[in-house]
């Protein structure tokens, strides 16, 4: 079911595009991100009430730069161009863009030149905004006027004199722009006229309806990992289809301490959803033997997962679908403004399925961000232990062991990881962190334990803060907490004599080590 109020964001490659989407959804307006080469028919079919053109790293004067699709003007809906998006609008309507004499990166001061414009309703006459551009508009097209200026941008904000076409040289979506949230709210509600009526309750209702319509009388196989994504998918399926939603927990032998027991209890006792456990731990470990390359680990785990579900499907003749917990960032990261993206990492449940399985993939959460999934989980009554659980990679501890995966290394990492999680929870910081976990490093260092020298393994501790996992900062944990974590690991985990703390952010590093 298509939301009555929706916005399309055309992504020109900005690092902030997902922030635009998040800010729009915070106003309870549904939005989608599409690449600039999306077909006009696809945009028209979505029946958007407005379009937002994102920023981007290219110059509109650069050969081969992403271009403006002129046909979307025929939709007749309000348009907001941000940075590169604004410059595309200016160029299209006959204005001029040129390299700026003084590039603007970072904080700048915006002066509102047109009081009373709906975009600037309640926005202070002067405020701090966030700039990030090397080009600037040097001449406005006919029919446009300036409504805001900055020190180095005489056309920091513009609008068409009688059409709802706006351009901002700065980024309203970032936190550094003081009135950014208000500007986005004004565009959506005062310029476009949206009510902001899209909620997670609407999402649940529409997805239950959509699942019943698509699945019909068939059955669906759903893999449950214990994470919030797969748990939400399972509950949505059960609500829509009842016993025709068959949920399986695959014991890979790569999970954290007590994971299987916790998941089984939550599903069987709390959610009252039948859960079948498949013990494939020996097969997973056998397949991972001698593999050190992280991409090959992911592929191996993914293929073995498919085999496990293939066996499950063989026992359910009426099964026609395989449900996955793919989220919106997974979807849009696979699309590049310059064409197909290079592979950063393989997601174990996103690859193609063997033809003999004859299953279609359904992804009920593919339009949601992680925080929205957690809100859905709470509304569905999913236990907090699952709803607020930190993200855990599909390949499990296999990619938190650098190098070969062995039973000994798994035992060491599992025990160290438990120490990290327990201490973070005891400190009351679990819900403030995006992830907190341990990593096994394939090196040994010299230590002194008791009266003897030791030559043991190293554990790295990784704790980060984030909103959606797309960017992340390392968490400056209290030194007392770090000391307790280190002491527990070294004292309780046999084979470890050194603990280090990862203080790298994403980017340039990733959250996971592999």
Q: Contact 120/93 with Cβ under 8 angstroms?
A: no
Q: How many CB atoms lie within 10 A of CB 505?
A: 15
Q: How many CB atoms lie within 10 A of CB 341?
A: 11
290, two tokens? 């001698």
CA pair distance 355, 407, nearest whole angstrom: 33
Which among 71, 23, 31, 68 has a CA at the least distance from the CA of 50?
Answer: 31
Task: Report the DSSP pairing between strands 6-10 and 50-53.
Answer: parallel
Backbone angles phi, psi at 399, to 5 degrees: -100, 5
3 state SS for 376-419: HHHHCCCCHHHHCCCCCCCCHHHHCECCCCCHHHHHHHHHHHHH
Give me the residue label for tokens 């009426």.
318
444, two tokens? 């040994």
- Beta strand segments in 22-65, E: 30-34, 50-53
Give the C-alpha distances (Å, rounded to integers) separating 197 from 2, 80, 117, 182, 201: 13, 21, 24, 17, 10
What DSSP line would sit under 146-202, residue for residue?
Answer: EEEE-SS-TTSEEEESSSSEEEESS-TTSTTSTTHHHHHHHIIIIIS-------HHH
Q: How many CB atoms lie within 10 A of CB 1?
A: 11
CA pair distance 218, 235, nearest whole angstrom: 17
Active site residues: 83, 171, 173
CA pair distance 109, 123, nearest whole angstrom: 13
* Torsion region of 450: left, alpha or beta (phi above 0 gives left; psi -120 to 50 gives alpha): left
Each residue of 424-452: b (16+ CB within 10 Å) or e?
beeeebbeebbbbbbbbbeeeeeeeeeee
Q: Contact 68/87 with Cβ under 8 angstroms?
A: no
Which among 488, 496, 514, 500 has a CA at the least distance from the CA of 420?
Answer: 488
């Amino acid at each position: 079911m298509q939301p009555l109020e929706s916005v399309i964001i055309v992504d020109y490659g900005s690092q902030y595009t997902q922030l635009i989407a998040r800010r729009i959804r915070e106003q309870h307006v549904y939005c989608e991100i599409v690449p600039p080469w999306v077909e006009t028919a696809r945009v028209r079919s979505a029946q958007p009430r407005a379009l937002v053109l994102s920023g981007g790293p290219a110059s509109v004067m650069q050969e081969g730069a992403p271009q403006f699709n002129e046909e979307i003007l025929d939709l007749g809906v309000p348009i907001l161009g941000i940075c590169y998006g604004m410059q595309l609008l200016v160029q299209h309507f006959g204005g001029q863009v040129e390299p700026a004499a003084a590039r603007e990166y970072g904080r700048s001061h915006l002066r509102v030149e047109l009081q009373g414009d709906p975009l600037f309703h309640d926005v202070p006459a002067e405020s701090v905004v966030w700039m990030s551009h090397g080009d600037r508009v040097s001449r406005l097209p006919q029919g446009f006027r300036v409504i805001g200026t900055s020190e180095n941008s005489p056309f920091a904000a513009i609008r068409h004199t009688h059409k709802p076409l706006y351009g901002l040289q700065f980024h309203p979506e970032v936190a550094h722009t003081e009135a950014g949230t208000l500007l986005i709210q004004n565009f959506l509600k005062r310029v476009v006229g949206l009510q902001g009526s899209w909620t997670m309750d609407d999402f649940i209702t529409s997805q239950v309806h959509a699942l019943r319509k698509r699945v019909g009388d068939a059955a669906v196989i759903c893999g449950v990992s214990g994470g919030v994504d797969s748990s939400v998918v399972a509950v949505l399926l059960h609500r829509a289809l009842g016993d025709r939603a068959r949920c399986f927990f695959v014991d890979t032998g790569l999970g954290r301490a007590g994971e299987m027991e916790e998941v089984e209890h939550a599903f069987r006792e709390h959610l009252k959803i039948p859960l079948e456990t498949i013990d494939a731990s020996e097969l997973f470990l056998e397949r991972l033997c001698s593999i050190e390359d992280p991409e090959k680990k992911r592929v191996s785990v993914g293929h073995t997962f498919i085999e496990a579900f293939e066996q499950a499907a063989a026992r359910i003749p009426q099964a026609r679908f395989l449900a996955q917990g793919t989220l919106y960032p997974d979807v849009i990261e696979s699309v590049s403004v310059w064409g197909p993206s290079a592979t950063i990492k393989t997601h174990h449940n996103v690859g193609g399925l063997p033809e003999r399985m004859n299953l279609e993939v359904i992804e009920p959460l593919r339009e949601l961000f992680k925080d929205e999934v957690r809100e859905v989980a709470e509304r569905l009554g999913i236990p907090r232990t699952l709803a607020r659980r930190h993200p855990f990679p599909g390949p499990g501890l296999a990619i938190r062991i650098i190098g070969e995966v062995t039973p000994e290394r798994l035992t060491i990492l599992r025990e160290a990881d438990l120490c990290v999680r327990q201490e973070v929870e005891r400190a009351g910081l679990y819900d403030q962190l995006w992830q907190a976990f341990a990593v096994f490093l394939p090196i040994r260092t010299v230590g002194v334990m008791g009266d003897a020298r030791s030559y043991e393994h190293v554990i790295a501790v990784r704790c980060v803060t984030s909103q959606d996992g797309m960017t992340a900062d390392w968490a400056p944990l209290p030194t007392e907490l770090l000391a307790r974590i280190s002491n527990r690991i070294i004292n309780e985990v046999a084979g470890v004599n050194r603990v280090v703390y990862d203080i790298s952010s994403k980017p340039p590093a990733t959250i996971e080590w592999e």
